[in-house]
Structure 1
């Protein structure tokens, strides 16, 4: 009887091990395919600004209508939604730096392949930072590798490869929210728990937003601290 009952027991152990190995190999193959696909996909390395739009339900005075047609900026370690000039299509506040970035693999040997998102944060000197979601507050922030590595750094992606309709996603969905920080300033958050930031907004007004990629080329790229060719195109003066 021990022999009879031992057979299925042994089989179950072998089967479980086999499944684990097969699963691990499959995940490794899938990850490598992702690496190869990103490396060969030059469109992911195209630089872009982020325009903001909100669903119709929010386009009413007092609800968040001022966010519609805005632009994402990077300053003071965070990402913000600001008014955009209808003439220049850049931030109305002169000197505020628009998000100007692209997708790039996040360098961390302790993570699987992670598609990160970088942006210049200044023009002179030209500096790149990683975008990330703060693990405690869910604010979308920017920092060098040492400042971002403990937080949620990806995967960042897009909804479609069609540039005019492409919006940024994080962890496979659009969960970005603008939160009213007072004095007319709206900070960008990510609704990681998919609960409307119930535990994070602390009574502040919050509006769901879409971050639409606006690809930039030529001299406009150079103007904001990037060269048109190459991933980065300049010698970074801050840790990336």
Structure 2
């Protein structure tokens, strides 16, 4: 009798393992189907051709418009909207490096209103959302006010945030998305 129970237990292991693997596979497929699309961001500006269709790039924890073709301009923004960790607030995740692969959060500095990127703690100290995207472009709290400000020959990104005093002097731009296949390209 004991050997019969042992035999049944041994026979049940492959069946249980197969079912568990099937459930895991289904969950992975569903998770993949629910992944938000990855995108990069480009500027649109009706008043200045210099500021139109320039990619948002990341460098030294700040965001810039790439107005040059220089590869040293910064890491190209590549991200998606997801809930901020331990929050119900839609936030913006971006790749910050290809090698080694790394991700960070886009946020607006509360003091300067500069658009920056950083880790969870850094973003948590700033305005990390809610970010949304619609037909008019990227916005925060339903506000579309992005401003490119020239600093030492580069165009740093700032945000006019609802409820903040004072206007930022610079060129008003919209940030529009362009789909990309993956956040971090595979090595060849």
| TM-score relative to the length of structure 1 | 0.59
1:225 corresponds to: 184
Among 64, 72, 76, the alignment partner of 1:80 is 64
Please list every run of 5 or more consecutive structure 1 residues that lacks an aligned counterpart in the other structure.
1-38, 60-64, 85-91, 161-165, 228-240
Aligned ranges 1:205-220 → 2 under 5 Å: 205-217=169-181
**1:69·1:83 contact (CA, 8 Å) conserved in 2?**
no
Inter-partner Cα distance in structure 1 for 2:171 and 2:144: 13
2:140 corresponds to: 170
Aligned ranges 1:20-59 → 2 under 5 Å: 42=34, 45-55=36-46, 58-59=47-48
The SS at the match of 1:146 is helix
2:119 corresponds to: 144
Please report the RMSD computed on the Cα atoms of aligned residues, expressed in angstroms: 2.4
| Deviation by residue 1:93-152 (Cα, 9 ceiling, x = unmatched) | 1142110000110013xx5x1000010111000110000010100000001001111211
1:99 corresponds to: 77
Inter-partner Cα distance in structure 1 for 2:178 and 2:166: 27
1:13 corresponds to: none
1:4 corresponds to: none
Cα gap change, 1:197 to 1:186, in 2 (>3 Å): farther
**1:49·1:100 contact (CA, 8 Å) conserved in 2?**
yes
| TM-score relative to the length of structure 2 | 0.74
Cα gap change, 1:41 to 1:54, in 2 (>3 Å): farther
Alpha-carbon distance, 1:196 to partner: 9.0
**1:51·1:70 contact (CA, 8 Å) conserved in 2?**
yes
Aligned ranges 1:116-127 → 2 under 5 Å: 116-127=91-102
Inter-partner Cα distance in structure 2 for 1:47 and 1:144: 19
Number of matched pairs: 155
Alpha-carbon distance, 1:226 to partner: 5.6
Alpha-carbon distance, 1:197 to partner: 4.8
Structure 1 residue runs of 4+, over 4 Å off? 193-197
Bigger proportion of residues as strand: 2
Alpha-carbon distance, 1:158 to partner: 0.8
**1:175·1:194 contact (CA, 8 Å) conserved in 2?**
no
Cα gap change, 1:66 to 1:191, in 2 (>3 Å): same
| Deviation by residue 1:176-214 (Cα, 9 ceiling, x = unmatched) | 11111122x01111101578953xx4xxx5011011100
